[in-house]
């Protein structure tokens, strides 16, 4: 499949604010359709995300109809509308009714734009425009993380200094996650004044195999992806053109992978952060500590860092991981601060259980999670067997094998086997459904 390209600037729409992110080319349509596609997938667990034919990849065409093309029912339509209003902080003033009464993707994009413009003119948010992103739930239940647009733009200003001369952005990540939003929505516009010509093209790689990168990438490109995608690209792209830069986030990038890409001629920028904090630090060499972005400060509290906001005030942000500090501005991630979940009134650590499962000689890797409320109250495991292993024998033998190594609350009671661990489009770990084994 071919990649799709979009301009970061196609002129300001009539009546729109010239610097508003939703006026930059088709940025708003990309964010809206990525968000709706992800939400529709969540509403349809175990089913394909939509019946939309593969000839119409994301972003969905403006004339895509929710009922005719996506098979959306009334309850799903209500859920999609609520998600859009919440994520973009659309002004309530009848926006819910507008969305439910309209049946085309293009109508929803137009309604979202009008609501964003009205909110900007009315000063709906005391601290300016804001967006709400959802975490993946890779370490627990998904949660909502709200960031002022000015705070996100503060990060993009720092990123632009690390990425001079980028003329195109090739993206393998969705634009409605905070990582994709920063790099494929805000960054292209920020870079417009640093390159000639001004427009920074965004090329969607999600419908293309990683091997296509060899024929697509050219000097001046920035490739935005996650470690799983980079791992596949490293196997099929032997060398990169000069002045092609990559960026990776959402999950740790193994040093061996970063070294392989560097040997192929790629400068790989690794960004450490989370949906709760946005970016905290960066590095562009394997094994070295991350450098704090200039607006972050180490604190005496090992479970938080402080951010100097655009208005000059300082706010503490809780950390998701332990940071091992080399000095006041350099660190290495040291693992989750607390990955415990409750099973039978006891604290258990799914990551530890997964590590124990990986000790089995026929297990290549494993993921362990607390069951969803509709599945039960125990742990479940997803197992990838070693090549050549008999999966039926492994399925039968694992419960007995772990009985002597884990306490009763730590033992998974539901097992799913597959060729690879489930991951989201962003590369982060994803949940799985027990009865979809």
pLDDT tens-place string over residues 262-290: 999 999 999 999 889 999 999 999 999 99
Same domain, 114 and 164: no
pLDDT at 266: 97
Query: Does some domain include residue 114?
Result: yes
Same domain, 222 and 324: yes
Q: At what angle do helices 74-88 and 105-122 cross, to 10 degrees?
A: 30
CATH number for the domain spanning 43: value is 1.10.1200
Same domain, 212 and 305: yes
Query: Does some domain include residue 2?
Result: no
Same domain, 300 and 412: no
Query: Does some domain include residue 358?
Result: yes
Same domain, 372 and 307: no
Number of domains in the chain: 3
pLDDT at 123: 67
Same domain, 189 and 237: yes
Same domain, 290 and 150: yes
Q: Which of 426, 365, 385 is nearest to 226 (CA)?
A: 426
CATH number for the domain spanning 420: value is 3.30.300.30
pLDDT at 187: 96
Query: Does some domain include residue 12?
Result: no
Task: Give the end of a domain, one of 307, 336, 365.
Answer: 336
Task: Give the end of a domain, one of 271, 306, 336.
Answer: 336
29-65 per-position pLDDT tens digit:
999 999 999 898 878 765 554 554 444 577 899 999 9
CATH number for the domain spanning 240: value is 3.40.50.12780
d(Cα 110, Cα 350) in Å, to the nearest integer? 44
Same domain, 222 and 352: no
Query: Does some domain include residue 329?
Result: yes
Same domain, 312 and 349: no
Cis amide prior to 197 (ω within 30 degrees)? yes
374-400 per-position pLDDT tens digit:
888 899 999 999 999 999 999 999 999
**Per-residue burial over 88-120, b = 16 or more CB atoms within 10 Å of its CB, e = otherwise:** bbbbeeebeebbeebbbbbbbbbbbbbbbbebb
* pTM metric for this prediction: 0.80
Same domain, 329 and 345: no
Output the six-digit token pair for 132: 């709400």
Same domain, 329 and 261: yes
Query: Does some domain include residue 109?
Result: yes
Query: Does some domain include residue 92?
Result: yes
Q: Which domain holds residue 222?
A: 144-336
* Positions of the chain with pLDDT lower than 50, given as ranges: 1, 9-16, 49, 52-55, 138-140, 196-197, 437
pLDDT at 258: 96
Same domain, 118 and 31: yes
pLDDT at 360: 96
Task: Give the end of a domain, one of 278, 301, 336.
Answer: 336
Query: Does some domain include residue 187?
Result: yes
């Amino acid at each position: 499949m071919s990649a799709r390209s979009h301009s970061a600037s196609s002129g300001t729409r009539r009546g729109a604010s010239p610097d508003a992110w939703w006026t930059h080319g088709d940025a708003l349509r990309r964010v809206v359709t990525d968000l709706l596609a992800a939400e529709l997938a969540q509403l349809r667990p175990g089913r394909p995300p939509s019946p939309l034919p593969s000839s119409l990849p994301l972003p969905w065409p403006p004339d895509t109809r929710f009922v005719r093309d996506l098979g959306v029912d009334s309850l799903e339509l209500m859920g999609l509308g609520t998600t859009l209003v919440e994520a973009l902080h659309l002004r309530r003033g009848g926006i819910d009714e507008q969305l439910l009464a309209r049946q085309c993707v293009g109508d929803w994009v137009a309604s979202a734009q009008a609501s964003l413009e009205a909110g900007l003119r009315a000063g709906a948010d005391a601290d300016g425009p804001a967006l709400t992103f959802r975490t993946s739930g890779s370490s627990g239940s998904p949660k909502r993380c709200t960031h002022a647009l000015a705070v996100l733009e503060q990060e993009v200003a720092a990123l632009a200094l690390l990425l001079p001369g980028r003329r195109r952005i090739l993206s393998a990540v969705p634009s409605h996650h905070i990582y994709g939003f920063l790099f494929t929505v805000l960054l292209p516009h920020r870079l417009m004044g640093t390159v000639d010509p001004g427009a920074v093209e965004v090329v969607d790689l999600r419908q293309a195999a990683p091997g296509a990168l060899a024929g697509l990438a050219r000097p001046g490109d920035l490739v935005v992806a996650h470690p799983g995608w980079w791992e596949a690209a490293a196997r099929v792209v032997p060398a990169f053109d000069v002045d092609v830069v990559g960026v990776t986030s959402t999950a740790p990038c193994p040093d061996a992978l970063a070294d392989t890409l560097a040997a192929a001629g790629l400068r790989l920028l690794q960004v450490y952060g989370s949906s709760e904090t946005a970016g905290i630090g960066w590095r562009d060499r394997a094994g070295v500590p991350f450098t704090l972005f200039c607006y972050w400060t180490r604190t005496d509290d090992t479970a938080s860092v402080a951010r100097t906001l655009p208005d000059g005030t300082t706010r503490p942000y809780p950390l998701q991981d332990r940071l091992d500090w080399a000095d006041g501005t350099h660190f290495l991630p040291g693992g989750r601060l607390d990955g415990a979940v409750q099973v039978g009134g006891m604290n258990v650590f799914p990551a530890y259980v997964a590590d124990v499962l990986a000790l089995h000689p026929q297990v290549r890797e494993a993921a362990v999670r607390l069951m969803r409320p509709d599945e039960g109250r125990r742990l479940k495991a997803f197992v990838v067997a070693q090549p050549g292993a008999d999966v039926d024998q492994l399925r039968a033998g694992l419960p007995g094998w772990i009985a002597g190594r884990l306490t009763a609350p730590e033992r998974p009671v539901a097992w799913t086997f597959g060729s690879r661990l489930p991951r989201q489009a962003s590369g982060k770990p994803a949940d799985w459904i027990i009865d979809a084994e």
